[in-house]
Structure 1
């Protein structure tokens, strides 16, 4: 599988652009609306975006040696206690992910990644390129859930189409 530095950088920019728009939409909701159980896999909007933050931190710990988040998937929904704390951490993580993507070289995307998976309970091995693509796909999946819950709660949606991402920032 071939994944280029340019493709990773595009997806890191997309991730930051999406999270900036999502943050703006979520700011229009009160805490009760963010925490209401909406029947999604992780229940609420806030639990879902916390899980997404946790997942990004977990994958980046594997890709770049960043500190891994505490706990496993069951605890992934409570990583930040407030929306303000989540928004600040999301902004910091997106900035770091952009810097990571900008600094990648072709060789950095080669080979396999081995890790102990909490989800499967065993060691996994996949191509690093596939794992990086999975991280970006995971983001899109859960942001889609957050988008559906957010609009159902009466907040504005945001543009999610990659084809409509601005060619120039701001990404954050």
Structure 2
């Protein structure tokens, strides 16, 4: 289904895109980051928060990270400022890259079983599907943030995977 090379590529892409969005977001003030822009989670910062929360949840299942102690509804307010979010985002991105580098083909096989708070039950899915979902979820919400940043007047950069620098 997927390979460790795919996972490593997507971990690099995640880091590249998050760095680009951080640079754009840092040109805005707190009010602009907190303004409700009509997106699913409302604001730029709330969407950033949810995205990092979700990465922590998935990596708790995939690599034993500590899971956030709040559910989806609390995911939007874990980091009250861009600076606080950025520090944990950068740590998480580095850890995701290290996890991807350690990954072996066997690690992508078999089921992943977890309790889903949003579904209120145990779930079992193939590990490879869960890994693809994590990266797809990142891309989805980063797209929302990219649109909100652009609408707020920030200058954003390319998001095309094929244009990612080789040294990322």
Shorter-chain TM-score bucket reads: over 0.9
Which residue of structure 2 lines up, in the alignment, with residue 93 of structure 1? 92
List alignment gaps of at least 5 residues for structure 2: none
After superposition, residues 69-148 of structure 1 pair within 5 angstroms as: 69-148=68-147
Quick one: distance in 2 between partners of 1:117 and 1:158? 35
Quick one: distance in 2 between partners of 1:59 and 1:34? 25
SS for the counterpart of 2:92 is helix
- Greater Cα offset, 77-86 or 60-69: 77-86
1:60 aligns with 2:59: yes
SS for the counterpart of 1:149 is helix
Residue 3 of structure 1, CA deviation: 1.4
SS for the counterpart of 1:129 is helix
Runs of 4+ in 1 over 3 A off after TM superposition: none
What root-mean-square deviation, in Å, do the aligned CA atoms of Structure 1 and Structure 2 show? 0.6
- Count residues in correspondence: 168
TM-score, normalization: structure 2?
0.98
| Deviation by residue 1:60-112 (Cα, 9 ceiling, x = unmatched) | 00000110012100000011121111011100000000000000011111101
Quick one: distance in 2 between partners of 1:119 and 1:158? 34
